[in-house]
Chain A
């Protein structure tokens, strides 16, 4: 069973249907006991960094997530990916889960913000599970992005600067775009995460 963390921030339903379509059993939950039983944890999210951290803390999920991230594969999507990092700079300075070192800062670009639409992936780690997605288009909606060490950056997308698109540190994964809204390619990316790190 795959657990989608429900903390009141965003579109859990479309992530759920995308996973069900791939044939997985899915639970949307904020119950630590259910999260413990899951094979994989997915942390979705839409909204602001600071509001999301508040919601996670309100549900006493911060330490639960940090503990589980060391035990089983965890995937953060969009805002959920940003929460994996050390510090967020949206609406003030907020500490994240600090599972991957790095900061979430506003994208510095001459182009329009938010970065909305389909953009091509540049995969930097050739041996990665995601190497087959080189130059594939995926759907982004965000204004802030992760600044982290190159070691953790699997893929980026060009929007003025190269914007972090996929990160990985051990069994902890983060995807900035929306695989559940990225058509066939998005489905295959979710599959790659689930297959690539099956327990």
Chain B
């Protein structure tokens, strides 16, 4: 039977992996390709690069990183961040990415999802949804989680599925950075709303948070960034914890 996936995410700015996305004075952590290779060796089932470059030069560097990763890393990898149009999607897939993540651009131009799925297949198109809880339910947040789009997150999840998204990368703006575990209520609500795989993101502070989300929701995969980057915990430790608690994982 198919296993639950553990996915480390690397935030890349101007060609370097950085810690955190929202802080001034980002700390450089290293070379993205080398870090992706290490994660792959430690048992990562997939890798996600999030490009937070502010310049065109930085985005071009990302394409080179994708090319090198495709040569060096033998697990699937996704690239997201700053994907604005079909040319960006094409460029990243042709450079060797297995999937492309689309976030704010999908909200502004939902046709981009359909266009990408028709041209390259749904399996390549991951729609990233950043959600935040309001009195009337979860709203879709854009511009790095800072702006309320006014869209209902569950309705939007159904809409992106209908438009051809192959997966949803779901980040809870409420739990992101808090390190107290995934947003279980949001995760299960989105999983129930669609028939495509959902990747939960935001809130991991301990290896235990992975088995928790896998046992308490039907999510397909879990993503974390900081606990892996800072070598606080390894992918192998997370997998050991999942296995101990009876979660079906891949032993690499």
Contact = CB atoms under 8 A, between A and B. Distances in A.
B166 A114 contact: yes
A186 interface: yes
Contacts of A13: 70, 96
Interface residues of B, number: 26
B152 to A, nearest CB: 22
Nearest to B248: A120
Contacts of B197: 112, 116-117
A116 B166 contact: yes
Interface residues of A, number: 31
A139 B75 contact: yes
A118 B123 contact: no
Contacts of A17: 70-71
Given A13-B70, A112-B197, A181-B75, A141 B2 contact: no
A143 B100 CA distance: 19
B3 A18 contact: no
Contacts of B123: 46, 114, 116, 141
B122 A114 contact: yes
A184 interface: yes
Contact of A117 (B3, B71, B122, B251): B3
Nearest to A113: B195
B108 interface: no
A159 B1 CA distance: 6
Chain A binding surface SS class = mixed
Contacts of A178: 76
Contacts of B98: 11, 181
B166 A118 contact: no
A98 interface: no
Nearest to B198: A112
Contacts of A118: 2-3, 5, 45, 250
B121 interface: yes
Interface in B198-243: 220-221
Contacts of B40: 183
Interface centre among A17, A118, A158, A182 (most CB of B within 10 A): A118
B36 to A, nearest CB: 12
B70 A14 contact: yes
A6 B32 CA distance: 30
A75 B212 CA distance: 41
5 contacts: A117-B5, A117-B197, A137-B252, A159-B2, A182-B75
